[in-house]
Structure 1
Amino acid sequence: MDGRAEDRGRVYQASGDQHITEHHHYGGQPAAPRGPDSVRRPAVGRPPVVLRDRAEVLERLRASARTRRGGEVYVLHGMGGCGKTAVAYTFFQQATGEFGRAGLWVGAADRASLRAGMLAVAADRGADDGELLAARNGLRPAADLVWQYLDRSPEPWLLVLDNADQPEILRDGHWLRSSPGGIVVVTTRRSAPHWWPGARLQHIGVLPREDAARVLCDLAPHSGTREQAAQVAERLGRLPLALTLAGGFLSQQVLDPWTMETYGHRLDEGERVELIDQGADALSEQDPRHTVGLTWQLTLDAFEARGLSEATALLRLLSRFAPEPLPLSVLDRAEIDGVVPRSRCESALRALLDQSLTELVDVGVRCAQSHGVLLDSVAAAAPEQQVPVLDTTAVRLLDAAVPAVPDAGPHDPLLRLLVPHALALLRRVQDPRASADALAVVTRLTVALHRTGEYLSAWETARAAADLGESRLGAEHRLVLAARSRAGRALFRLGRYEEAESLLAHVRAVQERQFGPRDPDTLDSCHGLQLVLGNLGRRDEAIALLRATIAGRRRALGPAHPLTLRSRASLLVLLPAARVVAEDGGALLSLPAECARLLGPDHTVTLGAHHNHAWALYLLGRFDEADQELRLVTEAYLQRFGPDYPIALSAQQLLSRTRAARGHMDEAIALMSDVVARRERAMGADHPFTVAGRQLLDEFASGRRQPPPA
């Protein structure tokens, strides 16, 4: 991560394990992240026309919102499709509109979405960029930061944690807490009380007969009588999701409209479509969720009859992904032609929207989202002969959405939106070749997360991907090992050095046995392992491994390859000053110029080489040269990452040293004061980085700091 008091183990400052891209764009300010996570808008498409038969639970929730007090946690539980989110949405609107509470909505279906959403809550409640960055980097507990700001909130709030069907995620991160400042509402399919200690559990079931009939009449008022609607509702098990799909179908028929009586007859004639409701209890033969498959199958049959086969194909393609917001940009690509002609994708999506088979949601970027019960049933019923092309197309779409060569940069929330879909696809795919392709995409996504400082998400995603890949491809498959290696690199960035060493050493040993010591994957793990060894204080081992990595990369990739140059740049901080001068016949000290000539002056590796070179010059007592070089590096980092990014603070700390060594003590104190203040805000006063920075600042202030010997 960052160097401590003496800036040793400064591999992080060199961008040491950054992947390479040939294109950089700089401006006067760091690039703003695209599509920021929005927690003020519920991730719900079309709200229910009328919420039927939920008066009792809504009144209980409203009673808690009327007062200024907080501290309550409500858990709305029930089977998939019963309308838990609709209840939460209606209460959200009432709490914000009638009672003036700040409404905060977070998707809790997976770890990445939950963490991103909760950090967006912290930002909404006043957390600054430095604090958020430290939480994403794993430098401070993210949940503590969020609840600290919720507790301090000047206005009462409502926090909805939607689709928390894996409550262990909430428990592992200690994300679910109560606060006197607000009310928490959780929607989940998991009702076991041990998951929700201290919470008020509220079951949300199917609708009574009369209310279910009213829902159908609300959605399709001209399709039949109340009694006919009641008969159809009974046939659909009075499940709100099934009623919504049926009502959407009936309301959209124009040329040859169906009556409710006709719809009921077709349901009686239909064959049951197998349904998997993940996260809930096993389905009985009478379970109303079975009827969801019948409702959408009738809709798809109507699509085929009307010449809208593309809508059917698009829904089956969507079923390869997760029931989470999917950026529309993922679908708007030429790669979709394998399933739906791109020119017909708009009309196909519109047909699905009209029939309530998917919804548009806005989470800072426009997305499509379908219900999990629907997607599971559609996926299970997809014709076997179509599955390979569906899987291949889904992989290609995600492949096009993930940066081809991830590079360091500011936080990009679009990457987080892709995580649940990438993992869902990896779970769906069964064919080994498609599984391998999907695993390669997910691993590259973890690299992209890593590059933007999302180390926890990178580790969790890489670990999950490796486990899923192992079940399909085997523990020693090249891509499974590559995913494990990425997990080890993320552990290193999280400061979990012993775990990182164990994992990377194991992966390297298997890769060396399977592919040989000069294989690029083996060498990549070697580079990651030497970073860990250097930070564990085992410098001689790290140097030996790094030399072997450089030699291997020279042979495998060539001396001008960015990865070869990157490994050479690491030597600048790992070698003692006296050995730097003699290394490689004296050529190591000219490495920044070589990188600039081969890669360009703004390349990631070039900037890292300049940073490390400045450290070497500082140790050699060449303070003027080090100071000049660091000024350029610091400015580049500030423009690219912003002032709170660890690598920018690391460069600024070293710049304060060179300023002090040249006798500009006032400027050195000002620079280090800013570093300490930013670290204190981001990580707290007692964090080792903050303490080390404060010690250096105290030395500057007392005039006791002496430059290192030349």
Structure 2
Amino acid sequence: MLTSQGEGSITQSGAVHGLGGVGKTALALHYAHHHIHLGDYSLVWWIDAMSPNSIEQSLATLAERLVPGWAAGAESASRVAWALQWLTWHPGWLLVYDNVENPRDLSPYTGALHGGHHLATSRRTTGWPDHAPTLALGILGADDATNLLCRLAFKGGSTTARERADAAVLAAELGFLPLALKQAGAYLCQNRGISIDAYRRRLQTNMREAADGIDAERTVARVWHVTLDALRKADPLAVSLLEVAAWLAPENIPHSLLTPSDSPPHQIAKAIGTLAAYSMVTDSGTTVTLHRLVQTVLRTATPRHWWSKAWRRRLPRGRAQAERALLRALSSPTSQETADEIRWDSLTPHLVALAATTPAGHPAAIPLVNAYSIAAHRLHQQSHTARAIPLLLTIVAQRKQSLGDTHPHTLTSRNDLALAYQDAGDLDRAIPLLQTTLAQRERTLGDAASDTLTSRNDLALAYQDAGDLDRAIPLLQTTLAEREHSLGNAHPDVLTSRNNLALAYQDAGDLDRAIPLLQIVLAQREHSLGNAHPHALASRNDLALAYQDSGDLDRAIPLLQTTLAERERILGDTHPHALASRNDLALAYQDAGDLDRAIPLLQTTLAERERILGDTHPHALTSRNNLALAYQDAGHLDRAIPLLQTTLAERERILGDTHPHTLTSRNNLALAYQDAGHLDRAIPLYQAALTQREQVLGDAHPDTVASRNNLASAVKLRLCGNQRQEPQQPA
């Protein structure tokens, strides 16, 4: 593992963690440069690891760099897959994952790519795998901090005893924080006529702090205010560019987004150079990056004349230009459709950052809202709906302010936001929004209006996700009846309602009502749409699962095999629907006792979902749970239990203790503990699962009954002194 000086080597994967501003990124960069100089790596690639989406974007950019001609015509997912394949076949690389927010986001890559080294930087001190060594990076020691400050301020020249003593005092006041020391040193180097002591006194008179900031933020704020005063005198344009960058994503900000339309290129280049000289940005030549703490300070700084009512009505400095620059970049013509796709992929993180920092009292303008809508739609198409939440929140706020709370466009936006919350597993926010939207549509449009029926359907599905079938089924029945009355039996919306009602019946264990409905829907969709239409394939898959639930595997498995083959042919191997089909077929094989075919399919599905959706996406958690149960069926409890523990922990964190999926995970882990002979661990989990299922699902729900039976069986075994049993089918 590397040392705090950036020396040494990484065995396979490693992580550097510590507070913001302590120099994690700088250390990783030094390590990379040191080993490039030694010739240890054939390729070094820097990855923005704040989210699964940003990791994928960085990998897609790697493909663009290596094969620009092909990448220009490929979708983002294809570019990511190509980059991963290239890394698999070309060992000797280093991937640096910078600013990791969740260590589990890396497991699809660190677990699958073994031909090189993985190095992560993060504020997270826990959650790293046991096999990955970590280095805790703290603040500098007093002597090291003083040496760094002197080296930066005097460019390695000699210092007097007085200057060194003043540097020691200043370093202590800056909390020995490397980021603050670096910016202070850069300021002193650019302003040789100012002594260290004089600079320290200026800091003491500039104590305006970021609101509610942490210590690192307050320290950076003090340094920044003095540096900004100097920049205003040296190059006012540099300050304007910095204020624009504060509202965008911190990494990979194109120079074009910072460029005012009336500024000559040479002035822009000079301003960026000034910012780099003062260590306010890192310039790659085409993009700039700045530290998140600096962005926070810039956005929350209070202007001296904030008391002015006229000023308070204005957008914060730089915000308006950031909005104009993004709209200009998105509207400029491109030569081909794929180039437009790449542009949207690269600029969407900046749109999300802009939406997430919308100032209070300043709803977004209509052109910007339109751009947010396109970005949100693209994220939904890429199965990243939850990441569109900042965009949708801003859209709802703007439409409510400009159109009113009950305008059809406002209600549509609120419904979209609720569905994004539902996709993220946040039913506590999704359901009240859906309830409000339905009530307002019923009041303004009427009970039978198309949008009202859509709201009723969406609310019913959210209730179903929450396990509340007593409220879901009546809503679905009403929606189907209204749609049949107004649209006829064969309208696509009627078929969707009939299918949804059938699935709710199936969830309630009422297969006698579910299967006939699903058979009707499949026949009508095949007749009107054709056998290979996505909706017909979805119906075939749903009917197969109902047959499987009824124990009729002879009819279920052929249908699932056909559906998977068609989806792979039409949509591709890694499309979410193809992955769902692969998962379903694997579970059917498992039910049939064919674990040799089930487990490889489940392993592939989990790996693809983690890579495409991220480790904590609900579908990835479902795949992890399913693979664990297959390992358990095969007698591999040493593989099953860790996966079940991880899945339960993630579902508790993301979905909450009482979400139906969390309750399923708790029950499944208890069954695995019982199968391993650990009744002392199993029984408390059974008790918790039963109590919560009774509260959430009701006493008579099939899952509640299964929990009650599981607990009774475990207690009976403990009383008999028997620590092992054949576990029941997990609920």
Report the TM range for the smaller structure's normalisation.
0.3 to 0.5
TM-score normalised by structure 1 residue count: 0.45
In terms of fraction of residues, the more helix-rich structure is: 2
TM-score by length of 2: 0.44
